[in-house]
């Protein structure tokens, strides 16, 4: 971006062409992993994982469906788009080492706006130690579309799937749930206020944690590292992107088991609970159905409880039962309610 008469001058993407744009926005990405043989610059990336199993996950974010640029900064969007994909790799008990990034942009975007987006992508790559090794850039008549593939590796004996939970396993979750959803509700509310009064400057200081959980979430690589350090392999695992209710149903159906989740054990932040009161929302419903927390939901054998019991990162929220007993929430009043999928639906 240059300045002329103290006004910023933005560069149209059409002035550079596809390859110059790619060279410009990827010039600050460095190769860090020995498994990356060739990255950006050839027709395809080359990776060498030797005797490990390769793990690949892809995800797509579409403007107007998954994000709203009226309140989502491009650098945060770039960061979050990487984190969402890394979380899928970590949920398999694997470590991600490479990503590819595909974007389609309309002509309202400038080179400088893409720089902001890739600043966030690069920040996530640096934090989580992954290499950007390729992708595609093209035009769009529907705004901004981002598609990212994440690539990792692990030993076959370490892989954790959704289908390994067994009767009497403990159900454990990392972090707290529901805060990302409440952050979204606050941003949506302030967007509507801005429409009525564009001069209004909202004070969002008391919602800082909730908004951060929505705009700049973190993937739980630290949990996977911790599992390795304590020699723990969960029996099943999934990341919480679509909501706790949807994810526990996935585990139970894939594992052919039932479960009892305990309402009073579900971890929630104080900020979430106070905001739920303000918005007249039930905090348990938000924690069950909110989504985009990117925490890890997993099951462990009861004998492994000793390994995790002193960690503040984990909450035991229930246990696995026989399939015929169903998938249940045990309320604070000790009533059993069947859990239904109330999380994010793509269509």
Cβ neighbors of 30 (< 8 A, separation 6 or more) are: 131
Q: Look at phi and psi of residue 164 and say left if phi exceeds 0, alpha if psi is from -120 to 50, else beta.
A: alpha
Give residue for tokens 């690539």: 151
Q: What are 333's two structure tokens?
A: 């009043």
Sequence ranges of the domains in the chain: 2-157, 162-338
> pTM for this structure?
0.89
Q: Which of 68, 101, 70, 69 is nearest to 84 (CA)?
A: 101
Tell me the three-class secondary structure of the chain, residue by residue: CEEECCEEECCEHHHCCHHHHHHHHCCCCCCCCCCEEECECECCCEECCCCCEEEEEEEEEEECCCECCCCCCHHHHHHHHHHHHHHHHHCCCCEEEEEEEEEEECCCCEHHHHHHHHHHHHHHHHHHCCEEEEEEEEECCCCCEEEEEEEEEECHHHCCCHHHCCCCCEEEEECCCCHHHHHHHHHHHHHHHHHHCCCCCCCCHHHHHHHHHHHCCCCCHHHHHHHHHCCCCCCEEEEECCCHHHHHHHHHHHHCCEEEEEHHHCCCCHHHHHHHHHHCCCHHHHHHHCCCCCEEEEEECHHHHHHHCCCCCEEEEEEEECHHHCEEEECCCCCEEECCCCCCCCC
Give residue for tokens 């793990």: 55
Give residue for tokens 């009226």: 70
Give residue for tokens 């989504």: 291
**pLDDT at residue number 35:** 85
Q: Give the CA distances from residue 304 to residues 191, 297, 312, in Å, rounded to whole numbers and listed in that order.
A: 46, 16, 16
**pLDDT at residue number 42:** 59
Q: What is the CATH number of domain 162-338?
A: 3.90.650.10
**pLDDT at residue number 347:** 39
The superfamily (CATH) of domain 2-157 is: PurM-like, N-terminal domain (3.30.1330.10)
**Alpha carbon distance 329, 262 (integer Å):** 6
**Alpha carbon distance 48, 167 (integer Å):** 39
**pLDDT at residue number 102:** 96
**pLDDT at residue number 289:** 94
Q: What are 173's two structure tokens?
A: 């979750």
Residues of the chain with pLDDT under 50: 346-347
**Residue pLDDT, tens place only, 17-47:** 766 777 787 888 888 888 888 776 655 667 7
Decide whether 2-157 matches 162-338 in CATH topology: no
Q: Report CA torsion sign: 90, 87, 57, 162.
A: positive
From the number of C-beta atoms within 10 Å of its C-beta (0-12, 13-18, 19+), residue 280 rates as: exposed
**pLDDT at residue number 20:** 77
């Amino acid at each position: 971006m240059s300045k002329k008469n103290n006004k910023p001058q933005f560069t149209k993407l059409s002035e550079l062409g596809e390859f110059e744009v790619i060279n410009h926005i990827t010039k600050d990405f460095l190769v860090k992993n020995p498994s990356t043989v060739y990255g950006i610059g050839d027709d395809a990336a080359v990776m060498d994982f030797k005797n490990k199993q390769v793990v690949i996950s892809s995800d797509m974010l579409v403007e107007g469906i998954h994000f709203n640029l009226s309140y989502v900064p491009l650098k945060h969007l770039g960061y979050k788009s990487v984190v969402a994909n890394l979380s899928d790799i970590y949920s398999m008990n694997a470590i991600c080492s490479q990503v590819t990034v595909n974007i389609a942009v309309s002509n309202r975007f400038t080179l400088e706006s893409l720089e902001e987006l890739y600043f966030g992508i690069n920040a996530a790559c640096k934090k989580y130690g992954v290499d950007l090794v390729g992708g595609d850039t093209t035009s769009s008549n529907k705004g901004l579309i981002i598609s990212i593939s994440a690539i990792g590796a692990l030993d076959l004996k370490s892989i954790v799937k959704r289908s390994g939970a067994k009767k009497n396993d403990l159900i454990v979750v990392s972090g707290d749930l529901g805060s990302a959803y409440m952050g979204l509700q606050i941003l949506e509310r302030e967007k509507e206020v801005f429409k009525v009064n564009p001069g209004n400057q909202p004070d969002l200081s008391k919602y800082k944690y909730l908004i951060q959980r929505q705009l700049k979430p973190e993937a739980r690589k630290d949990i996977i590292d911790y599992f390795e350090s304590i020699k723990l392999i969960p029996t099943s695992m999934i990341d919480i992107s679509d909501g706790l209710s949807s994810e526990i149903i996935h585990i139970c159906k894939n594992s052919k088991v039932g479960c009892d989740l305990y309402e009073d054990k579900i971890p929630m932040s104080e900020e979430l609970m106070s905001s739920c009161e303000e918005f007249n929302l039930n905090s348990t419903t938000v924690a069950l159905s909110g989504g985009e927390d990117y925490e890890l939901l997993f099951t462990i054998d009861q004998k492994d409880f000793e390994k995790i019991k002193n960690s503040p990162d984990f909450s035991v929220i229930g246990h696995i039962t026989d399939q015929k007993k169903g998938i249940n929430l045990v309320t604070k009043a000790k009533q059993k309610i069947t859990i239904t999928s109330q999380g994010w639906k793509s269509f």
